[in-house]
Amino acid sequence: MSSQSVLSLKGIKKTYNAGKPNEVKVLRGIDLELKEGEIVAMVAPSGAGKSTLLHIAGLLDTPDTGLVEIGGENFSRQSDRRRTRARREDVGFVYQFHHLLPEFSALENVMLPQLANGVSRTSAKARAFDILGRVGVAERADHRPADMSGGEQQRVAFCRALANAPRLLLADEPTGNLDPTTAEKVFTSLMELARETGLSALVATHNLELAARMDRQVKLEEGVLVTAD
């Protein structure tokens, strides 16, 4: 495993409604480094700021202060255009709910981010089939999200997140909506896929058993990350 840094957060602070009576100091100085191929669990109670942190790490939001680097590039000073491109090419997101487009098939849902990045239909289709196959849902390629189980929907959501071969996966309670047995199976598929592709991942989860299977665990507590293992 290379020791190249894929994600580096330094001194990240974020306050909502600063100076107002309803001020919330969500992040009070976050430091985190993810190396290439590293899969890190982030454990935190609801409301602790997991989504805020994942959105900042994935360039969907900006911190009040602090540095966000992806692949060694400092994004704190980059233009919106550069941030948008990096978000499309280098980062994949998975949420608790699949957010697949209901009117498109599984295959099309995995093809769309590739087409948006200028990949040809033939290549996008071939890659979509390949990734769907790797997580065991190739036979559902023509199904729309409504015609799939929760576990299958979430596997397809992983495939969509990985469609453009990002270097970083950010997952917010990716199995939180599934029963324990399905959650375990879907999580195992995700881990295998991440290992095969050398992806780095930051996975927020309440599930301590799944957290223990990742490379390391951090806890988000009172706005800072502490090592938890």
Residues of the shown chain interacting with ligand ADP in the complex, contacts defined by CB under 6 A:
16-17, 24, 26, 44, 46-52
Q: How many CB atoms lie within 10 A of CB 219?
A: 18
User: Which residues on neighbouring strands pair with residue 83, listed in sequence order?
Assistant: none
**Quick one: 53 or 193, whose CB is closer to ligand ADP?**
53
- Minimum distance, C-beta of residue 51 to ligand ADP, in the bound complex (Å): 3
Closest to 96 measured CA to CA, from 169, 180, 31, 172: 172
**Quick one: 106 or 203, whose CB is closer to ligand ADP?**
203
Residue owning tokens 């600063």:
18
- Minimum distance, C-beta of residue 202 to ligand ADP, in the bound complex (Å): 13
- Minimum distance, C-beta of residue 161 to ligand ADP, in the bound complex (Å): 18
- Minimum distance, C-beta of residue 225 to ligand ADP, in the bound complex (Å): 12
**Quick one: 48 or 168, whose CB is closer to ligand ADP?**
48
Q: How many CB atoms lie within 10 A of CB 227?
A: 8
Cα–Cα distance between 164 and 128 in angstroms, integer?
A: 10
**Quick one: 126 or 208, whose CB is closer to ligand ADP?**
208
Cα–Cα distance between 174 and 104 in angstroms, integer?
A: 21
User: Helical H runs in 163-205?
Assistant: 180-197
